[in-house]
């Protein structure tokens, strides 16, 4: 953080600022008096708009009063939701490599995360259902997966979604789906089509909890706003529990988020075009390098190249940073299956990505190990 001249590709956010219309909506909301306490589950108007957004974007019908809880970020949605589901000593299956906060939250609840890696099968990561079955114990209560995935860019296929839902139903588990990157998806019939939500397959009576965020889709990382969707008994508990955590997300930010939902599609499309170009540029540059395997990510904004012979990704990234001033994230940070790879965030401008890929290639051509 303190070094000058570092090309920073270790962050999990776009370098685009929050669009002006959202900033203006927040100012107006403050002027309009959205500076008081509001409902624990979020402004009713925002929950209604979220339900309308799901109908429009995912073709899913939700009850805004009973099935949606607004939270102060995606990570708070995970925290609140998981806390409602686990007792101390319970076990939770977590598909890895993955952003580590889910497993950390499980530990904070005095429960035990059991990591089950997604193996790389050919040019695609895939769910290993045999490994999931083998990891079950009588204490297993929950299965957490992230699709689109940070750091893999993996998106659960139709068959994998069916399989995960059937597995959860058969073994009486809660299925927790982190879908914060659903709009950053490049494999749909057209850009802007979301990654299919598990909500399309599940019924509202299923033991399902989906966590979501305004951070990635609307470039609102610093605003701290998200939501969760859950079966109504758990949604009700989550809203009650929120009283003792943050009470509710900031009122004027919730109001600004209503504008994001109403007017965000054009900016989103522009960002997606840019991200897809960046992804293709990075894939092309990385695939030229000997000893590097990199599956094409279908979603999010990361590539996760695997490097032959890499056994200490932390040391690799440290040396890369100090010798070339390129900052990327070590794969080991993302749990089981992550060692041997590194994560590169490609949501930066080309003027950064181009020299970054050059530095990476040059470093790999030296005796880095
Ligand atoms: C997979 C995943 N889930 C959730 C989040 C949380 O997003 P936020 O707390 O900014 O809403 C992130 C952020 O990087 C993420 O990568």
* Residue written as token pair 């009122």: 251
| Rounded Cα gap, residues 243 and 32, in angstroms | 24
Q: Report the separation in Å between the CA atom of 74 and the middle of ligand 1, taken as the mean of its atom positions.
A: 5
pLDDT of 160 reads: 98
94 close to 100: Cβ distance less than 8 angstroms:
no
What value does the mean pLDDT take over residues 115-143? 96
Counting ligand 1 atoms within 8 A of each CB, the residue from 14, 72, 185, 213 with the most, and so the one to mutate, is 213
Question: Average pLDDT of 269-289?
Answer: 97
205 C-alpha to ligand 1 centroid (Å): 26
- pLDDT tens digits for 252-261? 999 999 999 9
Q: How far is the CA of 244 from the centre of ligand 1 (A)?
A: 22
Radius of gyration of the chain (CA): 20
Which ligand 1 atom is the nearest neighbour of the CA of 221? 10
Residue where the block lists tokens 């789906």: 177
The Cβ of residue 177 has, within 10 Å, a number of other Cβ atoms equal to 24
For residue 124, give the nearest of 288, 298, 281, 339 by alpha carbon: 298
For residue 368, pLDDT beyond 80: no
By alpha-carbon position, which residue is closest to atom 14 of ligand 1?
12
Q: Using CA atoms, how far apart are residues 155 and 174, in angstroms rounded to an integer? A: 20
Q: Pocket around ligand 1: residues whose beta carbon is below 6 Å from it?
A: 12, 73-75, 99, 146, 150, 178, 180, 213, 215, 221, 226
SS3 content of the chain, % helix, strand, coil (to 5): 40, 15, 40
Please tell me whether the overall predicted TM-score, pTM, comes out greater than 0.95 for this model: yes
Mean pLDDT score of the chain, rounded to an integer? 97
The whole-number average pLDDT for the span 168-178 is 98
Distance 288 CA to ligand 1 centre (A): 31
């Amino acid at each position: 953080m303190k070094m000058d001249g570092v090309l920073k590709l270790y962050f999990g956010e776009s370098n685009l600022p929050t669009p002006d219309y959202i900033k203006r909506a927040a100012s107006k909301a403050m002027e309009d008096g959205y500076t008081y306490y509001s409902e624990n589950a979020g402004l009713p108007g925002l929950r209604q708009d979220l339900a309308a957004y799901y109908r429009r974007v995912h073709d899913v019908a939700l009850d805004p009063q009973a099935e949606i809880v607004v939270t102060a970020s995606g990570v708070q949605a995970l925290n609140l939701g998981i806390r409602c589901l686990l007792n101390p000593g319970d076990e939770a299956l977590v598909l890895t490599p993955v952003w580590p906060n889910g497993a950390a939250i499980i530990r904070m609840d005095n429960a035990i995360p059991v990591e089950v890696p997604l193996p790389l099968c050919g040019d695609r990561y895939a769910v290993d259902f045999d490994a999931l079955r083998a990891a079950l114990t009588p204490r297993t209560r929950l299965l957490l997966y992230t699709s689109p995935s940070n750091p893999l860019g993996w998106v659960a296929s139709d068959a994998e979604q069916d399989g995960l839902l059937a597995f959860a139903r058969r073994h009486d588990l809660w299925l927790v789906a982190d879908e914060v990157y659903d709009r950053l998806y490049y494999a749909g019939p057209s850009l802007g089509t979301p990654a299919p939500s598990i909500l399309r397959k599940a019924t509202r009576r299923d033991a399902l909890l989906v966590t979501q965020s305004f951070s990635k889709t609307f470039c609102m990382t610093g605003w701290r706003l998200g939501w969760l969707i859950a079966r109504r008994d758990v949604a009700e508990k989550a809203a009650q529990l929120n009283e003792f955590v943050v009470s509710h997300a900031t009122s004027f930010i919730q109001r600004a988020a209503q504008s994001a939902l109403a007017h965000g599609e054009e900016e989103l499309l522009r960002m997606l075009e840019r991200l897809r170009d960046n992804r293709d540029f990075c894939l092309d540059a990385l695939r030229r390098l000997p000893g590097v395997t990199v599956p094409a990510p279908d979603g999010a904004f990361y590539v996760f190249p695997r490097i032959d012979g890499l056994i200490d990704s932390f040391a690799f990234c440290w040396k890369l940073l100090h010798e070339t001033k390129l900052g990327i994230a070590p794969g080991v940070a993302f749990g089981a299956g992550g060692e041997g790879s590194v994560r590169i965030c490609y949501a930066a401008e080309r003027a950064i990505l181009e020299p970054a890929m050059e530095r990476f290639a040059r470093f790999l051509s030296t005796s880095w190990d």
